[in-house]
Amino acid sequence: MQETAERLRQLIRSQIEPLKLIPDAEASVKPSPQKWSKKEILGHLIDSATNNQAKFVKTMEAGGQNLPGYHQDEWVELQAYQKANWVELIDLWRSINLHLAHLIENTPERTLQNTLTIENAGPFTLEFIMKDYVEHAKHHILQILPDADLTSDFKMVY
């Protein structure tokens, strides 16, 4: 899982400065009332990170669990990411993802084939979910930074 952790770290290293170059006002622009602003997309990535941290640890503890998803639109709205400070959101995204990289690279190998379902979808192995998390993050970073040079090795499934 060292490679997966390093992919996540590389995503952070390569995109942190381009994210910080986006002015707060630009990060607040909603393309339409139904679409997320850059702030809200990054907020969603923070929510994804915290939800996945719980999935990772719970699946390490005991495989075979059916874990809940979350209502991403409601979470984004309830946490008022649209009103948040852009640089502080970037710093939070960076910090939680550095922790996830640490968690991924220190996952006991014996747990990587533990399975979970997410709202009855699956089963997925812990290894797959960890790898897929990085691809999910890349997908949304490309929504914020469409010219970012990112490659994708895994297909998102949830």
For position 134, which CATH number holds?
1.20.120.450
Within-domain flag for 149: no
pLDDT for position 157: 44
Average pLDDT, the chain: 93
- Closest by CA position to 61, among listed 114, 120, 118: 114
Q: Is residue 99 helix, strand or coil?
A: helix
pLDDT band of 151, cuts 50, 70, 90 = low
Number of domains in the chain: 1
Within-domain flag for 68: yes
Give the structural domain span for 121.
2-144
With a CB cutoff of 8 Å and minimum separation 6, the contacts of 134 are 4, 7, 8, 11, 154
Within-domain flag for 134: yes
In the sheet with 65-67, reading across from the earlier edge strand, the strands are 65-67, 115-118, 121-125
pTM attached to this predicted model: 0.91
Number of H helices, E strands in the chain: 6, 3
- CA atoms of 16 and 7, how far apart (whole Å): 14
CA distance between the termini of the chain: 21
Within-domain flag for 111: yes
Q: What is the pLDDT of residues 69-122, one digit of tens each?
A: 899 999 999 999 999 999 999 999 999 999 999 999 999 999 999 999 998 898
Whether 133 shows a pLDDT value over 50: the answer reads yes
Within-domain flag for 64: yes
Within-domain flag for 11: yes
Within-domain flag for 61: yes
**Are 24 and 16 spatial neighbours (Cβ–Cβ below 8 Å)?**
no
- What percent of the chain lies above the pLDDT cut of 70? 95
**Are 116 and 157 spatial neighbours (Cβ–Cβ below 8 Å)?**
no
Task: Find the angle CA(155)-CA(67)-CA(56) to the nearest 5 degrees.
Answer: 65
Within-domain flag for 157: no
